[in-house]
Structure 1
Amino acid sequence: MRFLILGSGICLCGVLLFSCGAEESPIQEGPTLISLEKPDYFPAEQPMPAANPLTEEGVRLGRMLFYEKKLSKDGTISCASCHQQEKGFSDGLRVSPGVGGAQGTMNAMSLANLHWQTRFFWNGRSVTLEEQAIIPIEDPMEMNLPIQEAISRLQNDSDYPKLFSAAFGTEEVTAERIGKALAQFERTLISANSKFDRWIRGEVELTPEEQLGLELFFTHPEPSIQLRGGNCGDCHLGFLTAGDPNGFSGFHNNGLDPDERLKSGLQSVTGNAFDRGKFKAPGLRNIALTAPYMHDGRFSSLEEVLDHYNDHIQNSETLDVLILEASNEPQNPNDPVKLHLSEQEKKAIIAFLNTLTDQEFVTNPKFSNPFK
């Protein structure tokens, strides 16, 4: 093999691009591969799906589809209607209205750092972002548009066939390609420049109250050795502050209701009675912006959330053992399940949670509405 230096480029003679002394072959153009812009302290082992690599053209198309109201039956809502950037890609409502004012039963989850998750929706019914992206389009309680109608609308649009061609090499619109494009855009929604992140990188110091909150957040209490903790990090793990991405281990019954009022949750996916009342532990990035909280949006403030875990845990057959055994005071089996945090400790945890707000993320023009 011979190498010819041409300006700043290299020609490989005798291969497909050029045959030395022969007529040039056309260069095949395709989507431009890109990498996720992520910090080195995020997990490195989660691969990009081989069938849906990240490309500039795919992300551009996915961003447009995310904000495209043509994907709802009456053209009034889009994915972004329930996932608003300034609210950490949530919507500030207990449950989100769909087409025609239809009311669902679940709170709109915030969107951030989705590449490191392997189960989606509160009950984990989707195993890929590509699959998750399509479901709300057809859901009668959400966008309520048959997928074939969505395909037809995009195919007959003056712009979308060209955008699909740039992203996938063909102007043909399919459900699979819609899901792939949306998933590519959603994978770029990386939140990694909060005060917490800057502290990790050694750029800022936390206040004493924030530092106490961080320590409490990541500590499981053990009263026998006077180790105090808030028990939060048992379910909201590591730098991502999100549920464990491996299988169903990131789903928990966190004591919201007694047995007779438990919703099915994960049980609707697994069929296992032991999974009744278990819901996904969401990532807590930008949590101060994403109220109300829990799968049904029952708590309007972080103070209410801390009060729940501290004083109002409802016991049930499937209550998570991580909560059942968590207390800052010695307990006997007949005691109510309580954390026994002080008011100062609760305020400190909330102060830490506020360090998870990433103003760059919620104002980044790369994630904003392309139609404005």
Structure 2
Amino acid sequence: MREFRFVVWVLLLAACSNDEPTSVLDDETYQPTPVELNIPAFFKSSIIDPVIPISNPLTEEGIVLGKKLFFDPVLSVDHSISCADCHMPHSAFTDTNVLSEGVNGALGSRNAMPLFNLAWNFDELFFWDGSASSLENQVFHPVPDSSEMANTWEKVVSDLESDSEYPDLFFAAFAEEGIDSLKVAKAIAQFERTLISGSSKFDKYLANEVELTDEEQNGLAVFLDETRGDCFHCHGNPNNPLWTDNIFHNNGLDSSFADLGLGKITGDPADNGKFKTPSLRNLAFTAPYMHDGRFSTLEEVIDHYSEGLQNSATIDPLMKKVADGGVRLTDKDKANLKAFLLTLSDEDFVNDPSFR
């Protein structure tokens, strides 16, 4: 709808008389249209609103541009893949591959993270290993990566400048002529901040719109019980709509590390094997799981915490039952925990036409 309004607006300007601006490029008073995020009511009562960078305010035109760039393969060296190829809307903006594929089938080393509720990432560290310092900064990483888009920013800018639409779209978004990598990053970050998931069955339960089954209720109890699931320390509780602490943990996947995670970024051995806690939202759509996609089902994830924990020098203290291999859930508690976790999946989000 935003794109439709923008096109109509440009056409109307073009139809004006000769003494009026014929496009946004000719309008010296032009400014992009400010926009506010559509924040769910429960978010507003539970966590503070996102802090939008002063250097990159949200605008209708910026979001339109960011969405177009996100779905356009122009960012890749051979124009074969876009951001959306690894972050697909119907999969909560991840993909179904164990490891994401770049141009010419090149394999990355990690599973693509889903994208939603990123505007509330208050520590401003992104990716599994925290290697990006802001939502804008994370856009810079995939373009030159040989296992992703394998491009150069010089070529990206050249391709965008020679396009029939992008120069006007960039001017509309930023009220100045010229295209550069920073504007690309800002526009995509604007679009990504609009990806808000807050309409799961559990959200509706909290709003007294639906009831949970007995299995789902027991699964929530398992989740919150320190002697059973003990999941809430890293993933929060019903008062945290993000369902993550956005912190880095070693959750006992391995006793030694081929991938150092946060440790590679900080250089601190105490950070080896630590990866960012993913949100538990939308698990129905985001398999496979973990930073390397090693678990193909939720049952495997639950089994890991129940009896598959591996000890190491940097194991998180929250993995209190590591000496026993895990929390040792009963089969019933495992099934109920899965039932609860699936209530956090948001059909409205993955089917929202404004995100496609």
Indicate the TM-score class for this superposition, using the shorter chain for normalisation. 0.7 to 0.9
Q: Does 1:69 align with 2:73?
A: yes
| Structure-2-length-normalised TM-score | 0.88
| Structure 2 residue corresponding to 1:80, chosen from 84, 101, 113 | 84
Q: Does 1:198 align with 2:194?
A: no
Moved over 4 A (4+): none
1:105 corresponds to: 109
Q: Distance in 1 between matches of 2:92 and 2:49?
A: 25
1:149 corresponds to: 155
| Structure 1 residue corresponding to 2:139, chosen from 121, 133, 139 | 133
Q: Distance in 1 between matches of 2:281 and 2:142?
A: 23
Q: Distance in 2 between matches of 1:54 and 1:125?
A: 24
1:356 corresponds to: 344
Q: Distance in 2 between matches of 1:45 and 1:187?
A: 12
* Aligned-pair CA distance for 1:244: 2.4
Q: Distance in 2 between matches of 1:203 and 1:96?
A: 38
Range that drifts further, 92-101 or 209-218: 209-218
Q: Does 1:337 align with 2:325?
A: yes
Contact 1:233 1:241 in 2 (8 A): no
Q: Distance in 2 between matches of 1:31 and 1:120?
A: 28
Give the match's secondary structure for 1:322: coil
More helix by share: 2
Q: Does 1:31 align with 2:32?
A: yes
Q: Distance in 2 between matches of 1:202 and 1:48?
A: 31
1:237 corresponds to: 236
Unaligned runs of 5+ in 2: 1-26
Deviations 1:68-126 (A, max 9, x none): 10110111100000001111111101001101111111000111101011211110011
Q: Does 1:217 align with 2:223?
A: yes
Contact 2:49 2:120 in 1 (8 A): no
Letter in 2 for 1:103: L
* Aligned-pair CA distance for 1:203: 1.0
Q: Please tell me whether Structure 1 or Structure 2 has the larger radius of gyration of its CA atoms.
A: 1
Unaligned runs of 5+ in 1: 1-25, 222-228, 328-334
Letter in 1 for 2:294: R
2:303 corresponds to: 307
Q: Distance in 2 between matches of 1:217 and 1:349?
A: 7
The number of equivalent residue pairs is 323
1:317 corresponds to: 313
Q: Distance in 2 between matches of 1:179 and 1:219?
A: 42
Q: Distance in 1 between matches of 2:332 and 2:54?
A: 49
Contact 2:199 2:349 in 1 (8 A): yes
Give the match's secondary structure for 2:143: helix
Range that drifts further, 186-195 or 262-271: 262-271
Q: Distance in 2 between matches of 1:95 and 1:154?
A: 29
Range that drifts further, 40-49 or 280-289: 40-49
Q: Distance in 2 between matches of 1:67 and 1:27?
A: 30
1:255 corresponds to: 252
1:281 corresponds to: 277
* Aligned-pair CA distance for 1:326: 4.2
1:18 corresponds to: none
